[in-house]
Amino acid sequence: MEETNTKEINLLQLINLFFNWLLKIGKNILDLIVYLVQLAYRHKSIVLISISICLVFGLYFSRPSAKVYKAEAMAMLYGSETQTVKEVSKQLENSVGSNNLFSLATKLSLPDSVARNIVGIQSFFVIDYLKDGVADMVDFKNNHSLTDTLNLRMKDRIYLQIKTTNISQIPKVQAAILNYFNTNKVMKSQFDIKRSEIIQQIKICDVESKRIDSLAKFSYFKDIDKQVRFEKDKLLIGDQKKQLFYDDLMRLQDIKSYAQNKLTNYNQPMELPSGFVVYPTPENGTVKYGVIAIFIGFVISLILSGLIENLKKILAFLDKKQV
């Protein structure tokens, strides 16, 4: 009994210590907030000046002519896989505006008036969680685990993103990007090979269908005596295996229909079913940048105020000689 009571007391003490620690942490945080408020009040002129300067910068970077808009599209690939397209896309993503040979204007054959409004172009892998051919997530952070065998990168599509300061030029940029990918030698070659493979598959289905149809006619119309027999505990009358030709024809028709449906999509190596969709809210909106500027200005003012109040201590510390 005494041992049980000792354990209960120790547990209660542990709980009490934990709550005391939480209260101490909360009191320290509250004291810090009170100190910062007092510090800001004592140096309110520095706070106002710092916030005003940062707010001016925030409003400048969010001015109408500098607003950056996003336009995104799901690109369907025919022939090439995403890894190939990702490599081709690097030429656009790593373009250098200061060099004419590596600028977007040169690579996309766009006028300078359009290319200089493009802030950047990026491509992202698309993740399929259930391996059912349905896109579930876009890997914007590019940190999807390659060891995960269930959540796979889709091979037949890639997500494209454009950042621009002029959304009215998106149709021109979209046409230029499609032309860039669809005229790429590697992608075009892979597209042609895959398309020829599908066409050949349809031709084989047609040939096999005619062959089975001829064989069926020969089998159906030749004279066979009626017969009754047991086969695997079943009573069979006549030649039941003639119906297998029907199954073969239907299977060929399914293969052919699937190939024909695929062929209708094989018009060019890359397609944008919905085109680039523009997000009307800019990334650097006035309200967003205004709030961020006020917060940054307030933090800077607190740092400056703390340095001013502790300037003597800082100088004394720096001037102190090591023994």
Q: Determine the 3-state secondary structure of 284 from DSSP.
A: coil
- 40 located within any domain: yes
What would the pLDDT profile of 39-65 be if each residue is shown by its tens digit?
999 999 999 999 999 999 999 998 988
Residues 274 and 156 in one domain: yes
| Residues 101 and 206 placed together within one structural domain of the fold | no
Same domain, residue pair 150 and 231: no
Residues 195 and 251 in one domain: yes
Quick check: is 322 in a domain?
Answer: no
- At residue 275 the predicted structure's pLDDT band, cuts being 50, 70 and 90, is very high
- What would the mean pLDDT of 119-145 be, rounded to a whole number? 85
41 shares a domain with 171: no
CA distance 85 to 158: 8
Same domain membership, residue 36 and residue 173: no
Residue-by-residue DSSP string for 172-219: HHHHHHHHHHHT-HHHHHHHHHHHHHHHHHHHHHHHHHHHHHHHHHHH
Determine, yes or no, domain membership for 314. Answer: no
- Cβ burial, residue 168 (10 Å; 0-12/13-18/19+): exposed
pLDDT tens digits, 167-220 = 999 999 999 999 999 999 999 999 999 999 999 999 998 888 888 767 666 555
The share of the chain scoring above pLDDT 90, in percent, equals 46
Mean pLDDT value of segment 260-266:
90
What are 35's two structure tokens?
């100190």
The parent domain of residue 109 ranges over 67-187+270-278
Least confident of 25-39, 131-145, 275-289: 131-145
Residues 274 and 141 in one domain: yes
DSSP for 81-147, written as a single string: -HHHHHHHHHHHHT--TT-GGGSHHHHTT--HHHHTTEEEEEEE-EEESSSSS---EE-TT----TT
As a whole number, mean pLDDT of residues 150-169 equals 90
Q: What average pLDDT does this structure show over 278-305? A: 92
Render pLDDT for 74-131 as a digit per residue (tens, 0 to 9): 999 999 999 999 999 998 988 866 567 678 888 998 998 898 899 999 999 998 887 7
Q: Are residues 274 and 129 in the same domain?
A: yes
The pLDDT of 14-31, averaged and rounded, is: 91
Domains of the chain: total: 3
3-state secondary structure at position 49: helix
Shared domain check, 72 and 179: yes
pLDDT score of 277 more than 90: yes
Cα–Cα distance between 63 and 201 in angstroms, integer? 57
Q: Is 320 within the bounds of a domain?
A: no
Q: What does pTM read for this prediction?
A: 0.75
Domain-located, residue 317 = no
